[in-house]
Structure 1
Amino acid sequence: MNAALRNWRTALAIALLSVGACMAVASPAHADELTGTLKKIRDEGVVVIGVREASIPFSYSDGGRTIGYSQAIALAIVDEIRKTLGQPNLRMREVTITSANRFLMLVNNQIDFECGSTTHTRERENVAAFSNSFFQYAVRMIARKNAGITDFPDLAGKPVVTTAGTSDERLVRQLNSNKQLNMRIASAKDHADAFAAVKSDRAVAFVMDEPILYGFRATDPHPDDFVVTGTPLGYETYACMFRKGDETFRDLVNGVISRMQTSGEAERLYNVWFTQPIPPHGINLNYPLSQEMRAMFAHPNDKALD
């Protein structure tokens, strides 16, 4: 072998080794300095996601598994985690959370992230980090149609229910104080219990996120007995939630959500859960995509609205 050929092969080998080294540094799945949520998931061999039991149609149980609009986004994020770590068979475990315990479970590492019906507010940024928004909605109420409730002043002096640990609880209590309505406000442990209070006439109205109210109305055996009503108390957004200070994981989650929204996949997913019959009873929420949601899909962002 002549000297020129030996030198060429040596140079080629060095070049290939350099490329391999750069790829190893660029890939977090093989980097020794992998930190945060991705390191936890890799080390434990499982990704743990928080799910809801009755946040229809976002994250809820159909009797056998968790399904919904938000759950589909969560599963897309899990797939991206598997690709990033190079672990296509990475296990996924679901942990049921409630409005009251979800932040504590996140901070205590009992879940890795959650995409359900968690509102992104500036105050909550002190506890958790939030992804790009995936839903925008109004805060309203559901009442029996024959109760004569059309707007929030009609609730003066009456029993009202909301869900404990939600931004809606803060809004309705603030309204009660500012307008001196003397509402008797109860805080239920979850959405299903709150709606049950209206059905059993223990409360005249359930104040909550508008799409969740439509979900309960649509899936009730007698949907025409109820009406979603009231001038919105405010407008808010849902986002996925994960631990603070983890920019690598934030980039991964936001990358998934942004691609879904700008590619048209998010709108197709929306139509599946809000404009077509959904499990388990085949009820259609008839809740078409708003112009505000279209604008959000066109320009993904992680800004709180409060």
Structure 2
Amino acid sequence: MFRLSLPGLGAALLLACSALSVQAQGVLDRIKSGGHLVLAHRESSIPFSYLDAQGRPVGYAMDLCLRLAEVIRKKTGARDMVIDYLPVKASDRLAVIEQGRADLECGSTTNNAERREKVAFTVPHFITGARMLVRANSQVTRLEELAGKNVVSTRGTTPLKVIDQLNRQHLVNLKIIEANDHQQALKQVAEGTAEAFVMDDVLLYGLIASSPSPADFKVVGRYLTTEPLAIMLPKGDTALKQLVDEEMKRLITSRDIYPLYERWFLRPIPPANVALSLPMSYLLRDFWKYPTDQVPF
């Protein structure tokens, strides 16, 4: 039988305590000590977080994260704070935050109860719902009309989980395809290997606006979900969350967030310089009257 000597046991305990100390160190403390701030971003979640023609991460959520980064820089006194950018996919974004590989996820992630078991969220920056993208000549208007046909959604997303549940609970008989990202899903509809792409409607409008042939697609159907989208951050980092929540509430109540909304949802955006022309919904306006990180989902 293997036995650990007392000196060896002491060394092991010291290593374990050191590991726990590093793990327990909050983001703000790490930045104060000269660490980098890591922002996770998406590559095709237009207009929230995506790559422009030069391959740089841009978007509505990216702009918000940069505002939050500036508050973090000032709070920590890290005048020369370095920001690192880490690309993530829908399938790995939660793990990246949960494992501490990034400090903020700047994208289009839904704040829901299941995810709150693993990560934290700040005040929602958008409220949307899942609908269907189909080809312009499609006659489909309801999910039930796709019985026996291929329907695609992106791996690791809430809409994928919803259509899977609807399929099993109501025997809709959909043939569900999981795409690696939004662009792949759009391509499958364009090529006819899928009849519809189910995703948050704002992302669908963004994909259509940035596609080479926007007239080839349309968004149809009733809302299948209600999705409060929010920036994700590590669970348990109280100091970081308090700072981020305060700044998000300030941006909303001061209306400083409104020009950002107009820039990304009402004006032409890169790379194609096409406007989504998507006015703020009554759901978001009402929610922002009393901004909070608490959502009933």
Q: Identify the residue that residue 149 of structure 2 maps to in structure 1.
A: 158
Match of 1:37 among 27, 47, 70: 27
TM-score (norm 1): 0.86
Q: Identify the residue that residue 68 of structure 2 maps to in structure 1.
A: 77
1:242 pairs with 2:233: yes
Question: Are the counterparts in 2 of residues 59 and 69 from structure 1 also a CA contact under 8 Å?
Answer: yes
**Cα distance between partner residues in 2 of 1:229 and 1:88:** 48
Equivalent residues in 2 for 1:58-137, closer than 5 Å: 58-64=48-54, 65-137=56-128
1:288 pairs with 2:263: no
1:275 pairs with 2:269: no
Q: Identify the residue that residue 165 of structure 2 maps to in structure 1.
A: 174
**Cα distance between partner residues in 2 of 1:128 and 1:166:** 15
**Cα distance between partner residues in 1 of 2:132 and 2:287:** 24
TM-score (norm 2): 0.89
Q: Identify the residue that residue 257 of structure 1 maps to in structure 2.
A: 248
Structure 2 unaligned blocks of 5 or more: 1-23
Structure 1 unaligned blocks of 5 or more: 1-33
Q: Identify the residue that residue 18 of structure 2 maps to in structure 1.
A: none
Q: Identify the residue that residue 217 of structure 1 maps to in structure 2.
A: 208
**Cα distance between partner residues in 2 of 1:260 and 1:115:** 16
Q: Identify the residue that residue 7 of structure 1 maps to in structure 2.
A: none
Which has the larger displacement, 258-267 or 73-82? 258-267
How many residue pairs were aligned?
273
Find runs of 4+ consecutive structure 1 residues off by over 4 angstroms: none
> Radius of gyration: which is bigger?
1
The CA deviation at 1:35 is 4.3
Question: Are the counterparts in 2 of residues 49 and 111 from structure 1 also a CA contact under 8 Å?
Answer: yes
- 1:277-299 Cα distance to aligned partner (Å, 9 max, x none): 11111101011011111122221
**Cα distance between partner residues in 1 of 2:154 and 2:31:** 31
Please give the secondary structure, in 1, of the residue aligned with 2:230. strand
Q: Which amino acid aligns with 1:42?
A: K
Which has the larger displacement, 272-281 or 39-48? 39-48
Which has the larger displacement, 99-108 or 210-219? 99-108
CA RMSD of aligned residues (A): 1.3
Question: Are the counterparts in 2 of residues 153 and 181 from structure 1 also a CA contact under 8 Å?
Answer: yes
The CA deviation at 1:127 is 0.6
Q: Identify the residue that residue 21 of structure 2 maps to in structure 1.
A: none
Question: Are the counterparts in 1 of residues 31 and 76 from structure 2 also a CA contact under 8 Å?
Answer: no
Equivalent residues in 2 for 1:136-155, closer than 5 Å: 136-155=127-146
> Percent of aligned pairs with the same residue?
37
The CA deviation at 1:88 is 2.3
Please give the secondary structure, in 2, of the residue aligned with 1:178. helix
Q: Which amino acid aligns with 2:268?
A: P
